[in-house]
A and B are shown apart, each in its own frame.
Chain A
Amino acid sequence: MRYNVEEIERTAKEIRYRLDFPATSGFFAGHFPGNPILPGVAQVQICIEVLAKSLARPVHLRKLESVRYRRPVTPETVCELTVQLPDDEGRVVFRLGCSEGLVADGRMLLVTEDSDDV
């Protein structure tokens, strides 16, 4: 289990998820020994994975327009992820936070495919 995820709210514009990261998550393996923190790329990866599941279609990233990482995520941290649904250009805005505050936020351009194309 890399992480646990639960969709907690969906509106016409965005989806909110609850995430937690077990100490045994493979994301922490080697990153870093004795001082485990969630890799920044894992946060983007999770955005894409949960959005693909919610949209029920494959999603991949075309461009990271801007992402800022503001605080580390350590094992057993509970986070809330808010992902705006893609606009007409595929642009998505996300925010990842925990009880201590904002973890990361950013804008990215996605390509979504019809499931029938895969």
Chain B
Amino acid sequence: MSDGDGMRSSADAASRFLPHGGTARLIREVLSSSSESMTCIARFPSENALLQDGRAASHLLVEPAAQAAATHLAILAVESGTEIRGFEGFLTSAKNVEFFLPDFPADTDVTIHVRPRGTIRKAKSGLFKFRFEAELDGTPLARGELSTYVMPLES
């Protein structure tokens, strides 16, 4: 498990590689990362068009989970020394994703854990499967499996 300034530098670098902008960028901080998993903080701004009446439906957590997965791939790419200038990618499937509360307030910190299906040592183009869990103050909000297609844009 990496942590401290080195990990945060990788996390900051990784956040620059997400193609999302403005209120669509949901990952705020990476708390820990290894080749097996990553934990981060996500937050839905109240201005995000997916929200209604200042609350986010729990099924929207699929979006920060997908962004967390892409961030994890970016961190692994940076840590492996791969020179990339960004990522293109999109969500391709969601499977057996359970939601334990109907919704939660905007602008609150949600903890997202992502774990790749299989060890990823270096991000390459292709389809990546992840399991994710989301929780708010220790209360489970959602968990399930996602697949994303990502393509690093090499420098």
Contacts and interface: CB of A to CB of B under 8 A. Distances in A.
Nearest to B103: A60
28 contacts: A26-B48, A27-B50, A29-B23, A29-B49, A30-B25, A31-B20, A31-B24, A32-B19, A37-B90, A40-B66, A40-B90, A40-B91, A41-B63, A44-B62, A45-B50, A60-B58, A60-B99, A61-B59, A61-B99, A62-B99, A63-B96, A64-B62, A64-B144, A65-B95, A67-B93, A68-B92, A106-B94, A111-B102
A44 B60 CA distance: 9
Chain B contact residues (Cβ within 8 angstroms of A): what range? Answer: 20 to 34
Interface in B95-150: 95-99, 102-103, 144
Nearest to B102: A60
Nearest to A37: B90
Given A29-B24, A32-B21, A39-B24, A66 B58 contact: no
B13 interface: no
Contacts of A61: 57-59, 99
A2 interface: yes
Interface residues of A, number: 31
B6 interface: no
B86 to A, nearest CB: 10
A30 B23 contact: yes
A35 interface: yes
Residue among A37, A39, A66 with max Cβ neighbours from chain B (10 Å): A39
